Amino acid sequence: MIVMKFGGSSVANAERIKHVASIIQAYAEKRPAVVLSAMGDTTDHLLEAADLAVQGKVDIEKVEKLHLDTAKELDVDVPAIKELLEELKTLLTGISMLHELTRRTRDYLVSFGERMSVRMMAAYLQKQGTSAKFYDAWDIGMVSDSNYMSAELLDEVWENIPKALNDYKNGKQKEIPIVTGFIAKDKNGIITTLGRGGSDLSATMIGAAMRADEIQTWKDVDGILTTDPRVVKEARPVPEVTYEEAQELAMFGSQVLHPRSMIPCRKTGTPVRVKNSYNIKSEGSVIVEKHSGATPRVTAITSVKDVTLIDIQSSGMFGAAGFLAHIFNQFLKWNISIDVIATSEVSVSLTVNTKAKLDGLIEDLERVADVTVKTSKSIVTLICDASHSSSILSDAFSALNKEGINVQMISQGASKVNISMLVDSEQTNKVVQVLHSALFG
């Protein structure tokens, strides 16, 4: 058994649905369970409809047109989608009367996209002669806490999922399960969403709980690449990365899998393969616990643009216990997360998301230290074997020095698989190009 996950762009319209259906059919002998996101921009359209409803206007034209036109083009009749559109209209009418959109109601609202998507795909596969059955996530036991908009799955899903899908895995059930990602229900039967990376998490959770042969996530490139091909045209596929490396890649800008989605498959050692939906013969990249051969010196280069650097310095805190604790408590107070950090006895340099509101934080920090804020910075990260950091940095800095590029901060992660450096945002692409040439040839 395998699990196949397709994002919203993969099922954006009738043509893409036909293509994904052909991929599912090509893997039918491997007994796939399929996880789908909402079609294209459906989630955005649902949220737009919610904003209008809060203002008193009910309008589902964009959502309704996309799904009914797609069904017509696929030549399928999907009564369940029409029922969901009526349910959606009723919900928006309620929102328009209350002029309010709560977190709980928002989760209910955005669930419609995936619920319609799986019904569309199942109907089309059936029309093509491939047995398929749609499932809302809770039908296979996806139970979460009640933290709406960012729910976490409960431990009982490890038992619930096999109970629901064992007959399929064992061959007693013929229909291919087409399952929603990103959503669940809490103990009270209220719909929740799993937050960032929710669809990836659903796929890895199903794969891990079912002890699948592998989990496949389908993209539009040949797996994980050495860097962004839009920046470096010579970027090439990486055949194999570890779970740890994949997490670091995702943390520092690469659109692979959300870091939290690695947790279930790491528990069971279930491999994850990143495949290209436009080139299904490509092996893609596989994510595993450990490298099968020698650990590569450098695996990939990734970047995050437009971050803010905060330098905090206080000579009065030299030798004083609790300086860092005080600094970090201010970030906790203002709910601002830190990306990269470098420290000394009396100073701390760290980066945060540029979108974070910093006024209150800076005011608190300035009570105990001198604070300098610098914007328009970027983090460039080397995913590498940090046990070779001296030779890696020697090659990297030699190449950057030849180009007259200065690195403003450097940090080696505790995971020992990443080295991050800070540069001006306008230099980001140049830095990536120089490093890729120096480290990959």
pLDDT (tens digit per residue) in 349-396 = 999 988 889 999 999 999 888 999 999 999 999 999 988 999 999 999
Q: What is the 3-state secondary structure (H, E, C) of the chain?
A: CEEEEECHHHHCCHHHHHHHHHHHHHCHHHCEEEEECCCCCHHHHHHHHHHHHHCCCCCCHHHHHHHHHHHHHHCCCCHHHHHHHHHHHHHHHHHHHHCCCCHHHHHHHHHHHHHHHHHHHHHHHHHCCCCEEEECHHHHCCEECCCCCCCCECCCHHHHHHHHHHHHHCCCCCCEEEEECCEEECCCCCEEECCCCHHHHHHHHHHHHCCCCEEEEEECCCCCECCCCCCCCCCCECCEEEHHHHHHHHHCCCCCCCHHHHHHHHHHCCCEEEEECCCCCCCCEEEECCCCCCCCCEEEEEEEEEEEEEEEECHHHCCCCCHHHHHHHHHHHCCCCCCCEEECCCEEEEEEECCCCCHHHHHHHCCCCEEEEEEEEEEEEEEECHHHHHHHHHHHHHHHHHCCCCCCEEEECCCCCEEEEEEEHHHHHHHHHHHHHHHHC
CA distances from 201 to 142, 197, 403 (A): 11, 6, 41
pLDDT at 248: 87
Place of tokens 């008193």: 56
pLDDT at 103: 96
**CA–CA separation, 380 vs 320, rounded Å?**
33
Q: Could you tell me whether strands 298-313 and 370-384 are parallel, antiparallel, or unpaired per DSSP bridges?
A: antiparallel
pLDDT at 133: 98
- Check pLDDT > 70 for residue 320: no
In sign, the C-alpha dihedral spanning 310, 314, 317, 319 is positive
Structure tokens at 403: 């180009």
pLDDT at 354: 85
Over residues 415-437, mean pLDDT: 94
pLDDT at 301: 96
For residue 318, name the pLDDT band (cuts at 50, 70, 90).
low
pLDDT at 281: 87
| Contact of 35 with 179, CB cutoff 8 Å | yes
**φ, ψ at 194 (rounded to 5°):** -90, 10
**CA–CA separation, 87 vs 291, rounded Å?**
49
> Of 285, 202, 213, 278, which is closest to residue 249 (Cα–Cα)?
285
| Contact of 28 with 57, CB cutoff 8 Å | no
**CA–CA separation, 374 vs 71, rounded Å?**
51
pLDDT at 336: 94
- Check pLDDT > 60 for residue 319: no
pLDDT at 100: 95
- Check pLDDT > 90 for residue 148: yes
Q: Could you tell me whether strands 214-219 and 272-276 are parallel, antiparallel, or unpaired per DSSP bridges?
A: parallel
For residue 316, name the pLDDT band (cuts at 50, 70, 90).
low
What pTM was computed for the model?
0.89
What proportion of the chain, given as a percentage, has pLDDT over 90?
A: 81
What proportion of the chain, given as a percentage, has pLDDT over 70?
A: 98
